[in-house]
Amino acid sequence: MITIGIGASWDNQKKRISMPNDYITAVIRAGGLPLLFPLTDSEPVWKAMIDQVDGVIFPGGEDIAPELFSESIHSHCGDIIPERDAQELFTYKYLLTTGKPFLAICRGVQLMNVAHGGSLYQDVPAQLPEIHINHSQTNTPQDAHYVDITEGTLLHRLLGAERVSVNSRHHQVVKALGKGLKVNARSEDGLIEGLELDNGYPGIGLQWHPENLSKHDIAMQGLFNWLVREAGKIL
């Protein structure tokens, strides 16, 4: 069975890893076996986790430490888990040496950009007051706003549409684009909502949460179907 590794969030109150169930069920619907990556400080374990799976999901979660993109912490920056930053930056960069496919969702697309030398707006309302869309609609798990899909990208080919309606639960977003990346989606107000690699690597970064939409949206479930199908090609 094709295995998909999923990075875990950290519950600081309960002192344990956590994982929203929608990631798990979307992978299972796609025919894959989801495997959670625990948080650890061991590089050999980080490497072994990537070696043991066929594809990876970098999911949402805590804010990425601004020092990783050479900025001081903004007053509106949220919770930071340095251990998770270290582990996921390592596993992302190591993954790119394997050819294994990935989906990078919400925090994941921000991690992707930082890993390539890009930066983030630490809080959209505070740093971009002119933006008219509320991108942090935590009580709206379904559609919140539209994004325009860049023609000719992998995401465009998979979704088969130039514009889609998405949910929106983030207060940070890509600022300066990292090297070797290209934009595959933008919101109506111009913010970057998705990334891919220039070299055609099988990876997609999305600012919205397709896992929440996948149960009732064939196109969003199709992203997880693609991940499992692509992962099966390298077996």
Best CA proximity match to 88, nearest among 66, 69, 60:
60
| Two structure tokens written together for 235 | 């077996």
Task: Confirm whether 162 is a catalytic residue.
Answer: no
Choice among 88, 193, 196, 211 that is catalytic: 211
Task: Confirm whether 77 is a catalytic residue.
Answer: no
Specify the amino acid at residue 96. L
Best CA proximity match to 218, nearest among 175, 158, 170:
158
Choice among 106, 145, 193, 230 that is catalytic: 106
Contacts of 132 (CB under 8 A, 6+ apart): 189
Task: Confirm whether 211 is a catalytic residue.
Answer: yes
* CA distance linking residue 215 with residue 217, whole number of Å: 6
Best CA proximity match to 196, nearest among 211, 212, 180, 173:
180
Q: Residue 43 in contact with residue 64, Cβ under 8 Å?
A: no
* CA distance linking residue 101 with residue 205, whole number of Å: 11
Beta-bridge partner residues of 146: 165
Choice among 77, 170, 209, 230 that is catalytic: 209
Q: Which residues are catalytic?
A: 106, 209, 211
